[in-house]
Structure 1
Amino acid sequence: MAQSNFTLPDVGEGLTEAEIVSWRVAPGDTVAINQVLVEIETAKSLVELPSPFEGVVGEILVEEGITVDVGTPIITVLSSADAGTPGSSADTGSPASAASPAVPEAQVVAADTADSVSAESERAVSARAAASGAAGDDGEKPGAVLVGHGSSAATGSRRRRAHLAPSAHEAFVPQAPVASPSTSAPAGVAKPAPARPAPALSAGPVLAKPPIRKLAKDLGVDLAEVTPTGPIGDVTRDDVIRQASQVSVFRNIETPAWPADREERIPVKGMRKAIAQAMTSSAFTAPHVSVFVDVDATRTMEFVKRLKSSTDFAGVKVSPLLIMAKAMIWAVRRNPIVNSTWTDEEIIVRHYVNLGVAAATPRGLIVPNVKDAQAMSLLELAQALEKLTITARDGKTQPAEMANGTITITNIGVFGMDTGTPILNPGEVGIVALGTIKQKPWVVDGEVRARYVTTIGGSFDHRVVDGDVVSRFVADIASIIEEPALLLE
C-alpha cells in the first residue's frame, strides 16, 4: 500500500517550528491536491497548509495544540488506488501517481492559498464598504480607528484550542445576538431585539442600512447598543466599527468571579514568545529616548469630516490615523535620519517609507507595514491602511507584510490613553504614538475655547538620532496635525 507522509514545511518564513492549531480533515477523508489539510501558527502568522497529495487520509500524526519542528511528519495520505477510492490512477500502480512533488511545491501552494484568502477578504470588505456609502458624522472620537483591532468573537470562532482554557479576556467577550432585518419592514428599519430592553439612548427601532447590519453581524456588534451619528439618527459604518473597538478594548467590563484554580499557566510559545524576544532585544539593545507634545487637532478633525463626505473617498475608511500617517511620511522626508537602521558598522538611511502600524489583534501585537507609502496619494494610503486593518483582524497577515518596515506608528488613543513610551520595532530607530483626541480647554487668540486636543509622543534610538532631530521630527508631525493644509506644499 502506497503511503505518503506530509511533513511540516518551512512555508517560506525561515522559521524552525510551528503549532498545529486546527485539523481540517480526519482519518478516512478523501482529499484532493490543494485542499486545505491543517491550520498552523508560526511565530508570525496563521497559515493554512494545502495537500500536495490526493488520496485518503490515513493517520493524523500530531494532535492540535502541539508544537513541532519543521520537517516533522504530521499526517499520512494513502494513494487513491490503494484506498479503493474512485478516480485514482490505478493503471500505473505507482506511488508517484498519487503523490505530487513534496515539500517545495507545498510551500508554493501554501503561499498562493494564503494570498488568495487575503484577496478574497479584501474584496468582500471593499464590497461591503461600497454598499454602505460614505461614513457618517465626524463627531466621533478617534477610538474607532485602531488598526487591526476587531471583534475577537469573529476571529476566535475560526480557531480551536482544546489544550488551553480560555483566558479571562476571551471568556467575557459579549456575545449579544444581532437582530436581522425583516423583509416586511421598510428599507433601513429593523425590529428591536425582543430579548433585550431598549437602551436609554434609543427608544425606537434601530435605523441602519442592510450593509451596516451585515457589518455589525460580522463584527459581533449589537445594533441596539450603538449610539447612532447619522444625519437621520441612523447607525453608520463608523458607529459600528467604533462600537466593535470599544467592545474589544473593554471586553472585561463585566467583573468575573475568581476562578476556582489559584493559578493559570500559559505556555510561552508562538507569537507571544516572538513578541517577548523582540521587545527584550529592542529595549536592552537600543537606548530609547522619548519626547511628547500636545497639539490642537481641531483642523484635522474638520479635514477628516470633509474627506468622509467626499465622493472620492466613498466607501473608504477615513480617520485621524490617515492624517497622522501622511504627517509621518512628510516629516520623514524633512528628517530622513529617523527612517534608518543601525548595524554596528554603519547607519543605513532608507529613502522610502515602509510605514508600520502597530496592530492589536486577538493573537497579540503585530506590526504590518504599508510598502512604499511615500509614493501613495491620500486615497491610496487610506485604502492601504484599510486593507491592512481587515487582513490583521481576520488573522491573515502574512510574514512578508510584516517584514522590512522602516518606521512605525502606534495608535494608543483607541484605549483612551493620552500618551505612552512605545518600544521600538526591532530594526527601526523611530516609533510615534498618537494619543486620544478629545475636547479640552485650549487658549486661542487669548481666549479659552473647547478644541480637539491630542498628544503626540515617540521613542527613538539615541545611537542614531540626537535630541534636536527628535524634537524637529515630532514638531513637524504636530504641525501637520494642527494644520493639514501644510501637506499641500
Structure 2
Amino acid sequence: MARVEVPMPQMGESIAEGTVSVWLKKVGDQVERDEPIMEISTDKVDAEIPSPVAGVLAEVVVTEGQTVEVGTIVAYIETEAGAAAAAAPQAPAAPAGASDHFQVPEERPTVMPEPVAGQAAAGGGAGAPVGAPLGDGPHTLEERLRTKSTPLVRKIAAEHNVAVHQVPGTGRNGRVTKDDILKYVEQGAAAPAAQPATAGATSAPTPPAQRPAAPAQPAYEGGFPWDEFYGAPQHPVVSAGPNDRVEPASRMTQIIANNMVQSRRISPHVHSYFEVDYTRLDRIRGKNKKLWEQQGVKVTYTHFIAWSVARALREFPKINASYSNHEVIYRSDVNLGIAVALDHGLIVPVIKQADELSLVGLARRLNDIAGRARSKQLKPDEIQGGTFTITNPGIFGTTIGFPIINQPQVAILGVGGVEMRAAVVSDEFGNHAVVPRKRGFISLGYDHRLVNGADGDQFLARIKQLMENFPDEA
C-alpha cells in the first residue's frame, strides 16, 4: 500500500488559500478516482474536489471550516503502489497548474527588485541570496515551505540586504511572514545604535550601501493575494443598533470584498456605454428557436453578446491583455469569463478559446459551465485563465451597470436589460419614423493605465456593429 497526498488545489488567479467546507467522505471510506471527497470554498468558487486516485481515505489533516494555503496537504489516501505511481501526474500542483499562464510554478526563481544606482558597486548585492536553500540536495516539503516567501517579504528583505532563510519564521512550517521580517530588520537596526559612536559619525552621511533601496515595482506573480503588493484593505467598523441582526460574513464574502477594493486601488476605472438595437437578434432567435431546441441548446441574448465580444477581442488585443510591472502581456487566447450569480455569492467560469466556437457551440459550452457552477461541479481549470469578463445584471432588470474589473484583466463588459423602446429610424430615402425596437445598453469598464477612451469606445462600437449586423449563420 502507498499513501497519496491530497493537497489544497489552486482554484483561480490570485487565490492563495481555500477553506474546507464539508468532508463528503470519512476516514476509512472507500473512494473511487474522480469521486468527490470534499467541498472547498474560496472567493472564486465553491467546488467539490475529486479524489486523485482510487483507494481508502486514510487520514484527514484539515478539518471542516479550516482555511489553509494552496498546496497544504489536507488528506491522505491509501492505495496500491502501482496505482499511486500511475496517478501521481494527476494530483493538483501547488500553488498553480502548469497549464495556466496566469500562474507561477512551485519551484520558480526568486524575484529580486532592481538594485538602485551604485548598490552593486557598494556591496548592496552581497550576501546570501534571498530565499536561498538551506543546503544542497533534495529538500522536504517543510524545508521548501520554510525558504519560500511572499513577494512583499522578499522585497523588504532585499531592501535591507537580508537573506530570508536567516529570519526566524512564525508562519506555517516556519514560513517567514511580513511581521517576522519587519521585526528582524528592526532588531538588526537597533544593535548598531547601542554601540559607542565613533568620532565624527554623527555628521557623516549614511553610506549609499546602507540606505534602504527605493521600493521596486513588484512583478505580477499569479497565485498570491493582491494585498501582498498593495496592503490589506481596512474596512470601517460600523456600530449596530439594539434591534439589528449581526452575523459574521462568509469567507467568500470577505475575500470578494477585499478583491473588489483592491481592484479599484490597482486599476483607475473608466466606463463607457453604448445603446444596442437587439431587433435583428430577436428575429434570428425566433427564426431558429425550434432548430436550436432540437439540437438541445437554448440560445439567449447573452450568447450573441459573448460571440460578438470574442471576435472583437481578436481585433483589439489591448483589451485582451494584462498590465504587469510596466509591461503589457498580450494574451494568445481569448478566454471569456462569464459571471454566474449564486445564492451565496458569485463565480466566473471561463470558456477557453471562445473565439473559435460557433454561436451554437458557444451557447452549449456556456450553458454547461453555468449549470455546473450552480451545482458545484466545476473543475479547477474551468475558473482559471480568463482574459476578459462579461457580467449580465440586466437579467435582474438593471438598465445599465458599471462593473469592477476582474484582476489581472484590464476590462469587463456589463450588459443591461433589453426592453421595447421607441426609436427613430430612417430609410434609404431619408424618411424618418418612430417605431418600437428592442434595445439595451452595454458598458465597458476599463483600466486607464493601459486602455484609453478611444480604445474602449472603438471596442464597444465594434461589438455593437457585430450584434446589429449578426449573420444568419454564425
Partners of 2:367 and 2:7 lie apart in 1 by 31
Partner of 1:432: helix, strand, or coil? strand
Picking from 397, 408, 416, the partner of 1:435 is 416
Report the equivalent of 1:483.
469
8 Å Cα contact 2:267-2:447 kept in structure 1: yes
Report the equivalent of 1:469.
455
> Cα–Cα, structure 1 residues 53 and 99, in superposed 2: closer, same or farther, change >3 Å?
farther
- Aligned pair 1:407/2:405, yes or no? no
> Cα–Cα, structure 1 residues 487 and 106, in superposed 2: closer, same or farther, change >3 Å?
same
> Cα–Cα, structure 1 residues 51 and 469, in superposed 2: closer, same or farther, change >3 Å?
closer
Partners of 1:97 and 1:330 lie apart in 2 by 49
8 Å Cα contact 2:424-2:434 kept in structure 1: yes
Q: Which has the higher helix share?
A: 1
- Aligned pair 1:397/2:378, yes or no? yes
> Cα–Cα, structure 1 residues 318 and 261, in superposed 2: closer, same or farther, change >3 Å?
same
1:299-347 CA-partner distances (Å, limit 9, x unpaired): 1111122231325863112011111112212322333322221113221
Report the equivalent of 1:11.
9
- Aligned pair 1:453/2:452, yes or no? no
Partners of 2:376 and 2:272 lie apart in 1 by 33
- Aligned pair 1:297/2:296, yes or no? no
Unaligned runs of 5+ in 2: 94-240, 427-431
How far 1:108 sits from its partner (Å)? Answer: 2.8
- Aligned pair 1:372/2:370, yes or no? no
Report the equivalent of 1:275.
256
> Cα–Cα, structure 1 residues 273 and 451, in superposed 2: closer, same or farther, change >3 Å?
same
Partner of 1:485: helix, strand, or coil? coil
> Cα–Cα, structure 1 residues 32 and 353, in superposed 2: closer, same or farther, change >3 Å?
closer
Partners of 1:56 and 1:366 lie apart in 2 by 29
> Cα–Cα, structure 1 residues 433 and 72, in superposed 2: closer, same or farther, change >3 Å?
closer
> Cα–Cα, structure 1 residues 447 and 429, in superposed 2: closer, same or farther, change >3 Å?
same
- Aligned pair 1:108/2:94, yes or no? no
Partners of 2:260 and 2:5 lie apart in 1 by 32
> Cα–Cα, structure 1 residues 12 and 407, in superposed 2: closer, same or farther, change >3 Å?
closer
8 Å Cα contact 1:54-1:98 kept in structure 2: no
Report the equivalent of 1:122.
none
How far 1:110 sits from its partner (Å)? Answer: 7.3
Report the equivalent of 2:30.
31
Partners of 2:246 and 2:457 lie apart in 1 by 44
8 Å Cα contact 1:52-1:99 kept in structure 2: no
8 Å Cα contact 1:31-1:51 kept in structure 2: no
> Cα–Cα, structure 1 residues 448 and 53, in superposed 2: closer, same or farther, change >3 Å?
closer
Partners of 1:300 and 1:448 lie apart in 2 by 20
Partners of 1:311 and 1:56 lie apart in 2 by 45
1:53-97 CA-partner distances (Å, limit 9, x unpaired): 85586x8665533334567776688x8xxxxxxxxxxxxxxxx97
Partners of 1:16 and 1:311 lie apart in 2 by 41
How far 1:290 sits from its partner (Å)? Answer: 0.6
| Percentage of identical aligned residues | 31
Partners of 1:56 and 1:69 lie apart in 2 by 21
How far 1:383 sits from its partner (Å)? Answer: 1.6
Partner of 1:465: helix, strand, or coil? coil
> Cα–Cα, structure 1 residues 74 and 389, in superposed 2: closer, same or farther, change >3 Å?
closer
Partners of 1:379 and 1:410 lie apart in 2 by 20
8 Å Cα contact 2:37-2:50 kept in structure 1: yes
Letter in 2 for 1:20: V
Q: Which has the higher contact order (CA 8 A, sep 6+)?
A: 1
> Cα–Cα, structure 1 residues 345 and 266, in superposed 2: closer, same or farther, change >3 Å?
same
* Larger of the two Rg values belongs to structure: 2
> Cα–Cα, structure 1 residues 473 and 107, in superposed 2: closer, same or farther, change >3 Å?
same
8 Å Cα contact 1:7-1:70 kept in structure 2: no
8 Å Cα contact 1:39-1:49 kept in structure 2: no
8 Å Cα contact 1:412-1:435 kept in structure 2: yes
Letter in 1 for 2:434: V
The TM-score with structure 2 as length reference comes to 0.58
- Aligned pair 1:265/2:247, yes or no? yes
1:368-427 CA-partner distances (Å, limit 9, x unpaired): 221111112222212221222112121222331222212221111111001011111102
Report the equivalent of 2:304.
323
> Cα–Cα, structure 1 residues 107 and 41, in superposed 2: closer, same or farther, change >3 Å?
farther
Unaligned runs of 5+ in 1: 80-95, 112-258
> Cα–Cα, structure 1 residues 5 and 21, in superposed 2: closer, same or farther, change >3 Å?
farther
How do 1:283-362 residues align onto structure 2 when only pairs under 5 Å count?
283-310=264-291, 314-362=295-343
Report the equivalent of 2:22.
22
How far 1:349 sits from its partner (Å)? Answer: 2.4
Letter in 2 for 1:18: G
How far 1:354 sits from its partner (Å)? Answer: 0.9
Partners of 1:338 and 1:40 lie apart in 2 by 32
Letter in 2 for 1:39: E
How far 1:50 sits from its partner (Å)? Answer: 2.9
Letter in 1 for 2:48: V
Partner of 1:404: helix, strand, or coil? coil
How far 1:287 sits from its partner (Å)? Answer: 1.0
Picking from 415, 424, 429, the partner of 2:405 is 424
Partners of 1:97 and 1:473 lie apart in 2 by 55
> Cα–Cα, structure 1 residues 413 and 108, in superposed 2: closer, same or farther, change >3 Å?
same
Partner of 1:437: helix, strand, or coil? strand
Partners of 1:52 and 1:388 lie apart in 2 by 24
Partner of 2:417: helix, strand, or coil? coil
Partner of 1:455: helix, strand, or coil? strand
Letter in 1 for 2:410: V
Letter in 2 for 1:31: Q
> Cα–Cα, structure 1 residues 310 and 106, in superposed 2: closer, same or farther, change >3 Å?
same
Tell me the matched-pair count.
318
How far 1:364 sits from its partner (Å)? Answer: 1.8
